[in-house]
Structure 1
Amino acid sequence: MSDVENRCRIVLVAPQLAKADAMRGVIEDALRGGDVSSVVLPQYDLDERSFQKLAESVVPVIQKAGAAALIAGDSRTAARAKADGIHVTGGFDAMEDALERFAPEMIVGGGRAKDRHSALELGELRPDYIFFGKLDGDIKAEPHSKNLDLAEWWASMVEIPCVVMGGQAIGSVADVAESGAEFVALRHAVFADPQKAAMMVAEANALLDEKAPRFED
């Protein structure tokens, strides 16, 4: 296990950009900044055709950089774009359906884990990961305290990895890492100024190298 794999890693949540060329450029730049485990592409308000075009353009860029491309939206788009997996934004029923249809060939994770009960219900389905927070939940500088509490509880007792939505500040990665979460999701913190995306990814990795606790092998 490498040192990067032995501590909390970054999951990028793509910003809301409608044009495929613009999204591809922004994501490509961000991935130059250093280690990123995966990139989630939300559908936002794009129609199915536009989202598929965007995904087909961006997924190869993500995969070329060694990260997993996860689609949050129309599951048919994930298959057509040859993505690595699906990020489920719904609750138990949506997760169960996605796992039945796409696992184990594709990564399936996410869920709407709002409390311990719903998290445990999702965990019984054995997804690849649980997500605490919302993909657009980075509305403050720091991560939501409830999500940090859930992650700390979850990481201490469940083997399924968890992802916590970080805040708008790059320094929020340290707060997430200290909870024991395996992954921290970043959106605004990296993409608020697209020209600085690579720099922000590099800074986040440097903070994690310095401050993130190491997992046991």
Structure 2
Amino acid sequence: MTKPFCRLYLVSPAVTDPRAFAPVLKAACAAGDVAAVLLRLVTDDERAAVNIVKDLAPIVQDAGAALIVAGPAAVAVRGGADGAHLDIRSMEEPAGVLEDAASQLRPQRILGVGGLKSRHIAMQAGEADVDYVMFGEPRPDGSIPPASETLERAGWWAAIFSIPCVAFAPTLDDVGPLAAAGVEFVALGDAAWTHPAGPAAAISEALASIAANVPAEP
């Protein structure tokens, strides 16, 4: 049996009510081959964040996907998630933060990094031995880098480095070109959750685009 080497990575909306989001998340994970879900939280209360992760992690994991927490490694560990994702765009000394996070997560859990404002910073993150880098995700103010910029940077990384790359697709139309660029994962955020026919329809469409734009691995 064969499958595309590029897989789908979902980025959740900012979750404040895990009970309301749980059925939506379950349906999304059941819609097709989802490799991972990045859980975005808005609370600064670590205990509350841990409880949200505890509520939602089993849904993702039972579907065979990994739950990655956008936030501190400690929340990911205490909540039973599969890893943590750190945005380093505003960090003055990201190397130390990444080293500390890795010490908490390894070897059982994943460390991903985003907020890579330049090629140089991306390479520095790669030298920190992260498990993946992400390009093109929404900025803190909600704006999104131009799709052409994400495509260029993701393609550059995929062609040179062995560390997996996640490329964020602002729309479903962006999924195919990013997959064709050779990235290991295409991330989908609001384009999935706000689809008129629901997340399952968006995921099915995204997976079809991936399959049509990448060769299959044995």
Aligned to 1:129: 132
Deviations 1:89-111 (A, max 9, x none): 12433322211332222111123
Contact 1:71 1:87 survives alignment (8 Å): yes
Could you say if the C-alpha distance between residues 9 and 153 of structure 1 is closer, same or farther in structure 2, counting changes exceeding 3 Å?
A: same
Distance in 2 (alpha carbons) for counterparts of 1:74 and 1:194: 33
Give the structure with the larger strand fraction: 2
Give how far 1:214 is off.
Answer: 2.4
Residues 116-125 or 186-195, more deviating: 186-195
Could you say if the C-alpha distance between residues 166 and 160 of structure 1 is closer, same or farther in structure 2, counting changes exceeding 3 Å?
A: same
Match of 1:51 among 49, 52, 76: 49
Contact 2:57 2:67 survives alignment (8 Å): yes
Aligned to 2:21: 23
Alignment map for 1:1-217 (pairs within 5 Å): 2-4=2-4, 6=5, 8-45=6-43, 47-90=45-88, 91-135=94-138, 139=143, 144-167=147-170, 169-193=171-195, 196-211=198-213, 213-214=214-215
Contact 1:166 1:185 survives alignment (8 Å): yes
Distance in 2 (alpha carbons) for counterparts of 1:136 and 1:129: 18
Distance in 2 (alpha carbons) for counterparts of 1:206 and 1:215: 13
Give how far 1:34 is off.
Answer: 0.3
Give how far 1:166 is off.
Answer: 1.0
Deviations 1:98-155 (A, max 9, x none): 1133222211112332211111111112211111123558756x96322211111111
Calculate percent identity across the aligned residue pairs.
Answer: 35
Query: Residue 188 of structure 2 aligns to which amino acid in structure 1?
Result: L
Root-mean-square deviation (CA), in Å? 2.3
Give how far 1:195 is off.
Answer: 6.2
SS of 2:50's partner is helix
Could you say if the C-alpha distance between residues 194 and 38 of structure 1 is closer, same or farther in structure 2, counting changes exceeding 3 Å?
A: farther
Query: Residue 134 of structure 1 aligns to which amino acid in structure 2?
Result: E
Give the aligned length.
212
Give how far 1:2 is off.
Answer: 3.6
Distance in 1 (alpha carbons) for counterparts of 2:216 and 2:112: 21
Contact 2:9 2:186 survives alignment (8 Å): yes
Deviations 1:56-98 (A, max 9, x none): 1100000000000111113222112111111111243332221
Give how far 1:170 is off.
Answer: 1.2
Q: Can you give the 5+ residue segments of structure 1 that lack an aligned partner in the other structure?
A: none
